[in-house]
C-alpha cells in the first residue's frame, strides 16, 4: 500500500480518526495527550486510533504522537514548522555554534535551515548566500552579516527561489560552509526531497562549498521522498537531535562524518542496538 496523497479521503476510518487525520494535515503532527483532551477519551484509545491510521499509511508514529506520512507530497510549509519544533530549534543552535565569525556560507530552503539562520544573528563579518527568502528576512537587518539572495522564480508555498537563474548565481561562489536540509533520509544514506527544482539548487550548493553541514531531525529518518539530493558521503557534518539508527550511524562512522546530537537521550533511553560508534558523535547535553 502506498502513502495517502494529501487531501485524499481514507475509507474505513471512524469519525474521530478522520478528524485526527485532518488535524495532522493542518498542523503536521498530532500528540496523544492533546488528542485525548480534545476528544475526551483515554490516551490508550488515541494510541489505537494512531496505530490504525499508521496501518492505513496515513500517519507515521513519533514519540508521543504521530506525523503525516507521505512519500510523494511534502507537508505544507507552515505545517512543517510545527513538526519537531523544539528539536529543530536545538539543531539550529548546535549548527550555528559550529560556524565561526568571518566566514561565507550557503543556506538553502527549509524550516530547520531557518532555525540555523535565527541562531546566527549574533555572528559577525559573515557573507550569507541563500535561495530562501525567509532566511534573507531573518538576517538582512544585521549590520555585520551581508546577505545575497539568489534570483529567479519564488515558490509561493515557502519562499524558495528556484530555477536556472538561482543555480547560476550559486555557481559564482565558493563558500566555506553550506547548510542544507532534506525532507527524508533513507537507511542507505540517500538524502531525499520532493521538488527536483529545489534539489538542483541544493546540489549546486553542495558542489560549491568547502564543508557541507546537513541539519535534519530524526523524523526525517521515518519518511520517504522521490528525488535524490545527494549521498550522505557528500556531507561533512550531520547535526540532528538524537542518536542515529545503527545502520546509518555506521555509514557516518565509516565515511568520517561528524555527527552532532543536539538533544541526546539519557543513556538508559537509547537502545544499544541503535547506538552509533562513539568516535563520530558529539553529544551536547
Q: For 246-257, how does the pLDDT look when each residue is reduced to its tens digit (9 = 90+)? A: 999 999 999 999
Beta-strand ranges (E) seen in the chain are 29-31, 59-62, 65-68, 104-107, 126-130, 145-149, 153-155, 160-162, 175-180, 184-185, 190-193, 209-215, 227-231, 237-240, 258-261, 281-283
For the record, the C-alpha cell of 123 comes out as: 555572528
Please name every residue paired with 191 in a beta bridge, in sequence order, or none if there are none: 185, 230
In this prediction, residue 202 has a pLDDT band, given cuts at 50, 70 and 90, of very high
User: φ and ψ at 198, to 5 degrees?
Assistant: -65, -40
Burial (0-12, 13-18, 19+ Cβ within 10 Å), 109: buried
- Which residues are within 8 A (CB) of 252 and not within 5 positions of it... i.e. 6 or more apart? 189, 232, 238, 244, 259, 276, 280
pLDDT digits (tens, 9 = 90+) for 87-97: 999 999 999 99
User: Greater confidence, 28 or 262?
Assistant: 262
Whether the pLDDT of residue 73 is over 70: the answer is: no
Whether the pLDDT of residue 5 is over 50: the answer is: no
Amino acid at each position: 500500500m502506498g502513502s495517502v496523497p494529501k487531501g485524499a479521503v481514507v475509507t474505513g476510518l471512524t469519525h474521530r480518526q478522520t478528524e485526527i487525520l485532518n488535524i495532522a494535515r493542518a498542523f503536521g503532527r498530532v500528540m496523544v495527550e492533546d488528542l485525548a483532551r480534545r476528544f475526551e477519551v483515554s490516551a490508550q484509545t488515541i494510541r489505537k486510533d494512531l496505530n490504525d491510521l499508521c496501518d492505513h499509511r496515513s500517519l507515521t508514529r513519533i514519540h508521543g504522537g504521530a506525523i503525516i506520512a507521505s512519500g510523494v507530497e511534502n507537508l505544507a510549509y507552515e505545517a512543517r514548522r510545527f513538526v519537531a519544533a523544539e528539536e529543530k530549534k536545538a539543531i539550529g543552535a548546535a549548527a550555528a555554534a559550529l560556524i565561526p565569525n568571518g566566514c561565507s556560507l550557503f543556506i538553502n530552503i527549509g524550516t530547520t535551515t531557518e532555525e540555523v539562520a535565527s541562531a546566527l544573528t549574533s555572528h559577525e563579518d559573515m557573507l550569507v548566500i541563500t535561495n530562501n527568502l525567509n532566511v534573507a528576512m531573518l538576517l538582512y537587518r544585521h549590520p555585520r552579516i551581508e546577505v545575497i539572495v539568489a534570483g529567479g522564480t519564488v515558490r509561493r508555498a515557502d519562499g524558495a527561489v528556484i530555477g536556472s537563474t538561482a543555480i547560476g548565481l550559486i555557481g559564482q561562489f565558493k563558500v566555506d560552509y553550506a547548510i542544507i536540509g532534506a525532507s527524508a533520509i533513507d537507511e542507505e544514506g540517500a538524502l531525499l526531497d520532493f521538488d527536483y527544482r529545489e534539489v538542483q539548487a541544493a546540489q549546486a550548493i553542495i558542489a560549491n562549498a568547502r564543508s557541507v553541514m546537513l541539519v535534519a531531525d530524526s523524523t526525517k529518518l521515518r519518511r520517504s521522498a522521490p528525488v535524490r539530493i545527494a549521498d550522505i558521503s557528500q556531507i561533512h557534518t550531520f547535526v540532528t537531535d538524537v542518536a542515529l539508527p545503527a545502520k546509518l550511524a555506521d555509514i557516518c562512522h565509516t565515511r568520517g562524518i561528524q555527527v552532532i546530537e543536539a538533544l541526546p537521550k539519557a543513556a538508559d533511553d537509547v537502545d544499544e542496538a541503535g547506538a552509533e560508534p562513539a568516535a563520530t558523535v558529539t553529544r551536547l547535553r
